[in-house]
Amino acid sequence: MTTAMLRFVSVPAAAPMKRAGAARRADFAEIYAAYEPATAAEQAARCSQCGVPFCQVHCPLSNNIPDWLRLAAEGRLEEAYALSAATNAFPEICGRICPQDRLCEGSCVIERAGHGTVTIGAIERFITDTAFARGWVKPALPRRERGQSVGIVGAGPAGLTAAGDLRRRGYTVEVYDRHDRMGGLLMYGIPNFKLDKAIVARRVKLLQDAGVRFHAGVELGRDLDLAALRSRHDAVLLACGVYRAREMMAPGIGLPGIVPALDYLIASNRRGLGDAVTGQSGADLDAGGKRVVVIGGGDTAMDCVRTAVRQGAKAVTCLYRRDRANMPGSRREVAHAEEEGVEFAWLAQPEAFLGETRVTGVRVQAIHLGLPDAGGRQTPRLVEGAHSILPAEMVVQALGFLPEDIPGRCGAPDLTTLDVTTPRLAITGEGRLDVDPRSLMTTIPGVFAAGDVVRGASLVVWAIRDGGDAAAGIHAYLASRLADRRQDGRAAAE
């Protein structure tokens, strides 16, 4: 029996129960409880089943959101999971970390009409967690082996998505990653209170059970180069992400105690996984007992401030040069941070860092917002003579990430002696890998790239999308090569 939808007229929006901010500061556990089945069904039934589903339109994966919401409302959770997993390799991860307020939920028609959004992310999480608990999630085994192999550099969301898609199609897949655990930034860059690491490990185990081979502690440019990968595999995917911190130029920037955001988050996640983070660097990467200033306004900055309060920082301030309305990060994350005791210094930017042997404070310059720039955001302008001092024993730079020298890491030869007919990796003006927009193949035949190394630092959901697109491009390329070989073989036989 079907369930009546459009219940938004009588049922208010209700997110899962959230722990109080003071309690959340004491641990790294996830902040939301799971839905009860009846509540999940009721909330899913609030969907208006739009003729043009803007939630789906604004999802990078084009998830069939209204359809699996209806199935969830009817209690058909196994079917709902199958439909959700058809377009999303990691629905339980997206349900936890996607900024739904900027994507599907923010585009929900009933949200725009003032009735409160359908809680899409929480329902997505509920469906997939239920599927795992009831044993519905199985390794995606291929029907037949194709006899061709693909090497993937990077075990983040793009690489893992491509690995799963290609293995399902019957390719031998080997994944190489610089870290000692698979997952990339899912494992080391996102705090536990947003994404428990057991959830990532569970997905990696499914890929292993499907036959994907993982090589941990293998770094491109240190342990192997592109030539070696091309000799081992029929195709190669570069999905190594962007790890180089965007640098800030200001007096005192080199003082001890000023650390990049990713180094800080990796150290925190390693402690949570039981690894020792020792030495001077370990002390610099622990906020316990310190006054902490985080510079930046994106989701990485929110991860840093919320990590610092859980480490027992004396005070945590987020320094951002625009106002709340112009922040690039999720409004929901800002609200979580405020609930947990983080202070925000809006319209302020660092002018210099103070201290002799290590940082002791930040000299702050006040800002006002001028006319909008080409992107529509108001341009920060200095307020002359408006300065203040913000005490700090630790400063975290969360200003974004840039690509590493991927052609250099791949073992590219000296371009001054390189024959012009030799294919080589091309990069864009921003240093990202240049690819064909349809196939995602680089300028070297058989070498593809996906995720942040092509797109620039972006959302996990976009990396999942890119990984799936790259897998499709690799499949088309290898199938074409196999067809050509068969045709050549028939011609030779004749």
pLDDT in tens, 339-353: 999 999 999 999 999
Q: Is the pLDDT of residue 2 over 60?
A: no
pLDDT tens-digit readout, 394-406 = 999 999 888 888 8
Domain 269-401 has CATH 3.50.50.60: yes
Task: Say which residues have a Cβ less than 8 Å from residue 485's Cβ, sequence separation at least 6.
Answer: none
Per CATH, 149-242+403-491 and 269-401 having the same topology is answered yes
Query: What CA–CA distances, in Å, run from 445 to 149, 440, 449, 467?
Result: 15, 11, 12, 18
Distances (CA, A) of 29 to 43, 104, 197, 264, 298: 24, 25, 11, 18, 22
Q: Contact 219/410 with Cβ under 8 angstroms?
A: no
| Entry pTM | 0.93
User: What's the CA dihedral at 216, 221, 222, 228 to 10 degrees?
Assistant: 70
* Nearest by Cα to 234 from 425, 407, 478: 478
Q: Which residues of 354-366 are buried (b: 16+ CB within 10 A; e: fewer)?
A: bbeeebbbbbbbb
Closest by CA position to 433, among listed 175, 220, 169, 172: 220
- What is the reported pLDDT for 152? 98
Residue range 67-94: mean pLDDT, rounded: 97
pLDDT of residue 279: 65
For residue 481, what pLDDT band results from cuts at 50, 70 and 90? confident
Q: Is the pLDDT of residue 409 over 90?
A: no
Query: What pLDDT does 415 receive?
Result: 41
Q: Does the structural domain 149-242+403-491 have CATH classification 3.50.50.60?
A: yes
Closest alpha carbon to 350 in 415, 399, 312, 308: 399
pLDDT category of residue 419 using cuts at 50, 70 and 90: very low
The pLDDT tens digits of the residues spanning 275-326 come to 988 765 778 899 999 999 999 999 999 999 999 999 999 999 999 999 998 8
Residue with tokens 């800080």: 264
Q: Rg of the chain's alpha carbons, rounded to an integer?
A: 24
- At 476, the pLDDT band (50, 70, 90 cuts) reads very high
* Predicted confidence (pLDDT) per residue in 23-58, tens digit: 999 999 999 999 999 999 999 999 999 989 999 999
Residues 452, 157: Cα–Cα separation, whole Å? 10
Q: What is the pLDDT of residue 374?
A: 80
Residue ranges per structural domain of the chain: 7-133, 149-242+403-491, 269-401
Q: What CATH topology corresponds to 7-133?
A: Fumarate Reductase Iron-sulfur Protein; Chain B, domain 2 (1.10.1060)
CA 18/CA 30 separation, integer angstroms: 9
Closest C-alpha to 6, from 40, 38, 42, 52: 42
Q: Give the pLDDT score at 422.
A: 59
